[in-house]
């Protein structure tokens, strides 16, 4: 019982302090929308998780016959999502680099690997903005696979969308924001 009372008092004090600080992301929107933060996050995650160099491409990719998309939602002071898209062949290559195993198809391990890449990208990107790091949570990754599917998102307040390559693997990363506090 005592712990519940301590926890309640702590949560109440934290909520009160947050309201009195007047934290607002509106003042940091240039930093949030800065494409260099996304580029740095992609480079960091691919170097750390896959041991490969990564660079931004000049044009968007054409959609192939089969692809893998992972989505991690943002909640809190910023609502939106980080979306990671790649062809199935690139997903299998990336999963092989992460696990040291070869994959003939997009199985659960490949889906988990792509979901984890998206999760790490979202966390790295939000960690570059102090207000987001402290006041924005991440959802569990959702992974979509198949052919001829569309991911529909209502008109975002802002969006960063870039193509990248890492060796032979190509992919796209999108950060969408549909609301800022």
Tell me the domain boundaries of the chain: 25-180
CA angle 29, 137, 31 (to 5 degrees): 15
Per-residue pLDDT tens digits of the chain, which is 181 residues long: 333 433 343 344 444 444 434 455 566 677 788 899 999 999 999 999 999 999 898 665 666 679 999 999 999 988 899 999 999 999 999 999 999 999 999 999 999 999 999 999 999 999 998 888 888 999 999 999 998 877 777 777 788 999 999 888 889 999 998 877 6
pTM of the model: 0.82
In the structure encoding, which two tokens stand for residue 75, read together? 């909640």
- For the domain spanning 25-180, the CATH number is 3.40.1550.10
pLDDT of residue 17: 42
pLDDT at 129: 87
């Amino acid at each position: 019982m005592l712990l519940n009372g301590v926890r309640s008092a702590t949560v109440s004090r934290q909520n009160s302090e947050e309201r009195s600080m007047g934290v607002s992301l509106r003042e940091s929107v240039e930093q949030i929308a800065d494409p260099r933060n996304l580029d740095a996050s992609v480079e960091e995650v691919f170097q750390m998780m896959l041991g490969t160099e990564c660079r931004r491409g000049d044009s968007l990719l054409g959609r192939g016959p089969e692809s893998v998309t992972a989505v991690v939602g943002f909640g809190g002071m910023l609502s939106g999502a980080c979306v990671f898209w790649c062809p199935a062949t690139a997903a299998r290559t990336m999963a092989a680099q992460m696990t040291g195993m070869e994959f003939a198809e997009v199985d659960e391990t490949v889906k988990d690997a792509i979901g984890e890449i998206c999760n790490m990208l979202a966390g790295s990107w939000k960690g570059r903005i102090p207000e987001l790091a402290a006041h924005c949570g991440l959802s569990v990754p959702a992974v979509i696979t198949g052919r001829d599917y569309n991911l529909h998102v209502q008109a975002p307040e802002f969006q960063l969308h870039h193509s990248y390559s890492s060796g032979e693997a190509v992919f796209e990363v999108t950060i969408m924001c549909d609301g800022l506090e």
